[in-house]
Amino acid sequence: GESVGLHLPTLSVQEGDNSIINCAYSNSASDYFIWYKQESGKGPQFIIDIRSNMDKRQGQRVTVLLNKTVKHLSLQIAATQPGDSAVYFCAENSPRSGANNLFFGTGTRLTVIP
């Protein structure tokens, strides 16, 4: 079956430090991955995505790395700020039936210490 999991359920970092959140997936057919941020009481918010034909993609303060050999995904946040405190989910796209499913990983709670 398909599974997307995270190595660490919680992560605490000092403000200004870099954060790295990891994710493992098991479906080698997955071709698209997304990182979402979910703040308390809100729906998931898109951060960055990457297709399987890439191994790195950069956004504003965020970088996603994809290692298909070991089925590993990571999200790097530079100069972490208090507003980055949230739960982060990786999601894996499994195309099916003309529309696409997203399977979410367990989630990592990031806490930024001022």
Partner 1 sequence: DTEVTQTPKHLVMGMTNKKSLKCEQHMGHRAMYWYKQKAKKPPELMFVYSYEKLSINESVPSRFSPECPNSSLLNLHLHALQPEDSALYLCASSQVSSGRNEQFFGPGTRLTVL
Nearer to partner 1, 11 or 34 (CB): 34
Q: How far apart are CA 39 and CA 3, in angstroms?
A: 23
Nearer to partner 1, 57 or 72 (CB): 57
Which residues are near partner 1 by CB under 8 A? 31-32, 34, 36, 41-46, 49, 51, 89, 93, 95-107
The three-point CA angle 28-52-35 to 5° equals: 95
Nearer to partner 1, 16 or 59 (CB): 59
Report, in Å, the least distance between residue 66 CB and partner 1: 14
Report, in Å, the least distance between residue 71 CB and partner 1: 18
Report, in Å, the least distance between residue 16 CB and partner 1: 28
Nearer to partner 1, 107 or 112 (CB): 107
Report, in Å, the least distance between residue 1 CB and partner 1: 13
Non-local (6+) Cβ contacts of 106 within 8 A are: 4, 5, 6, 9
